[in-house]
Amino acid sequence: MLHGAEVNLTMKSPDPLKNLSIYEQRLSRRFLQTFKQLREMQAERRALEQEHLEELASITHAYSRQFVENMAPADFGFVCSKHSWQLYQKTRPHASPPQIQPSQGRLKPKSSLGGQAFRPAAAF
């Protein structure tokens, strides 16, 4: 969008339509670059969310079904919503649960980890 001073300069130039075309091309390129950057960021976010859902699914086999269904992944430092977690649980294939090693413990909320992302806590 041209502002007052730019409009005056454009109208006083020898070829105002040429200048308007140049401004429009610049704005269009800037928009396309920003849109491309947005799409890349969204793709990265989706990939990270999918990775976290898979990690969360592999960890939660040791917990009660009620706890797993009602937990909020963000409380444990995962980048996924409660809604996406519930959808993932409904749509993922139900494989046999992995064997939990004695060194793996219970889920701890992010607040108890000092703001760090979730990782299995040591056994109590």
pTM above 0.75, yes or no: no
Domain annotation covers residue 21? yes
> pLDDT tens-digit profile of 24-49?
999 999 999 999 999 999 999 999 99
Domain annotation covers residue 78? yes
Domain annotation covers residue 101? no
Exposure letters 78-108 (e unless 16+ CB within 10 A, then b): bebeeebbeebbeeeeeeeeeeeeeeeeebb
Domain annotation covers residue 73? yes
55: containing domain: 14-91
- The single residue listed with the structure tokens 């005056």 is 8
> pLDDT tens-digit profile of 62-96?
788 888 888 888 888 888 888 888 888 888 765 54
Domain annotation covers residue 79? yes
Higher per-residue confidence, 96 vs 14: 14
Domain annotation covers residue 119? no
pLDDT at 107: 58
* Among the listed residues 64, 58, 123, the one whose alpha carbon sits nearest the alpha carbon of residue 97: 58
Domain count, the chain: 1
